[in-house]
């Protein structure tokens, strides 16, 4: 029965991984050319005054007192420095997220004036709260170092689990992140601590899309496990966690994420009796 459960859970994980990869690949293949054509059609030119600027974003106030949030990507052509208060011309295309546009070319028309009147005027008309919140979300999403928490359930053996992780990146590639984590799991006869040195690759369909995006990953696992119970006559089950076992395994995982939240499925190979399948819900701060 145990072998059948392991077989079924492994098949479930493989099916989830295959569905995630194939669905994302088909979506990417079908949308790349359409997105390129759509971006070309949606290009427009806007002039206005820079309200705020960061490594990832630019907020511009137009002469009509409208505020537009622009997002930079690797193809954006821009000056080395753009100061708040500068007048700029931005050629942009449709953004990946509602309320944003992707800046293609930024040209400074006039430098910022360092006058008290100009500063006071900019402060008197701050961007709407929705623009500021979206700008902050994008900044948080682009941070190179993040902390997070996770919780979930493991199957074979059945365990409740929680843990913490950190995410570093991107490294090597814009879609590669190092995400080591520590998981604590408890069950009827099992206690488990796993140190997982995992890396993930986010499939490059959307970098900051408003929909869920897929990823997969792998990495070594250092597992510390207590597992033992004895049935004493007339006393029911007597759980004894005196056994201490250490094992090294390898994790395979696949998941979907949107900004701060992610859901993933993970399996461990070459590690027994580590859980065959883990279902994890996580949050990045």
Tens digit of each residue's pLDDT (9 = 90 or more) over 56-112? 899 999 989 899 999 998 889 999 888 899 999 999 998 777 788 999 999 999 987
Mean pLDDT across the stretch 117-145? 71
pLDDT at 272 over 50: yes
Q: Is the pTM of this model over 0.75?
A: no
8 A C-beta contact, residue 274 and residue 192:
yes
We find that the CATH architecture of domain 146-284 is Beta Barrel (2.40)
Q: Which residue has the higher pLDDT, 30 or 52?
A: 52
In which residue ranges of the chain is CATH 2.40.160.20 found?
146-284
In which residue ranges of the chain is CATH 2.40.50.140 found?
42-141
Please tell me which of 141-145, 237-241, 247-251 the model is most confident about, judged by mean pLDDT: 247-251
Mean pLDDT across the stretch 195-202? 94
pLDDT at 234 over 60: no
pLDDT at 281 over 90: yes
pLDDT at 32 over 60: no
Domain range 42-141, CATH class: mainly beta
Residue-by-residue DSSP string for 150-219:
EEEEEETTTEEEEEEEEEE---SSTTEEEEEEEEEEE-SSEEEEEEEEEEEEE-TT-SS-SS-EEEEEEE
How far apart (Å, rounded) are the C-alpha atoms in residues 91 and 93?
7
Amino acid 47: pLDDT: 94
Amino acid 256: pLDDT: 93
How far apart (Å, rounded) are the C-alpha atoms in residues 223 and 191?
11
Mean pLDDT across the stretch 261-272? 87
Task: Kindly report the number of other CB atoms within 10 A of residue 136's CB atom.
Answer: 12
């Amino acid at each position: 029965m145990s072998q059948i459960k392991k077989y079924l859970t492994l098949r479930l994980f493989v099916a989830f991984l295959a569905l995630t990869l194939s669905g994302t690949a088909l979506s990417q293949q079908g949308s790349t050319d359409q997105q390129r054509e759509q971006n070309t059609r949606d290009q427009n030119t806007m002039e206005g005054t820079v309200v705020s600027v960061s490594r990832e974003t630019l907020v511009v106030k137009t002469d009509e007192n409208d505020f537009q949030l622009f997002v930079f990507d690797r193809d954006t052509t821009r000056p080395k420095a753009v100061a708040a208060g500068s007048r700029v011309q931005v050629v942009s295309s449709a953004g990946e997220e509602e309320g944003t546009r992707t800046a293609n070319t930024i040209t400074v028309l006039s430098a910022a004036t360092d006058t008290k009147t100009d500063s006071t005027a900019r402060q008197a008309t701050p961007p709407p709260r929705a623009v500021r919140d979206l700008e902050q979300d994008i900044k948080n999403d682009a941070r190179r170092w993040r902390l997070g928490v996770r919780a979930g359930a493991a199957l074979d053996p059945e365990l409740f689990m929680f843990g913490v992780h950190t995410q570093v990146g991107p490294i090597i590639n814009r879609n590669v992140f190092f995400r080591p984590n520590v998981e604590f799991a408890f069950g009827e006869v099992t206690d488990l601590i796993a140190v997982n040195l995992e890396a993930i690759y986010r499939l490059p369909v959307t970098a900051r899309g408003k929909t869920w995006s897929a990823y997969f990953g792998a990495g070594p696992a250092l597992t510390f496990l207590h597992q033992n119970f004895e049935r004493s006559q007339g006393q029911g089950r007597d759980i004894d966690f005196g056994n201490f076992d250490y094992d090294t395994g390898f994790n395979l995982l696949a998941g979907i994420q949107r900004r701060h939240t992610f859901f993933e499925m993970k399996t461990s190979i070459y590690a027994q009796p580590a859980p065959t399948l883990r279902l994890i819900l996580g949050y990045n701060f």
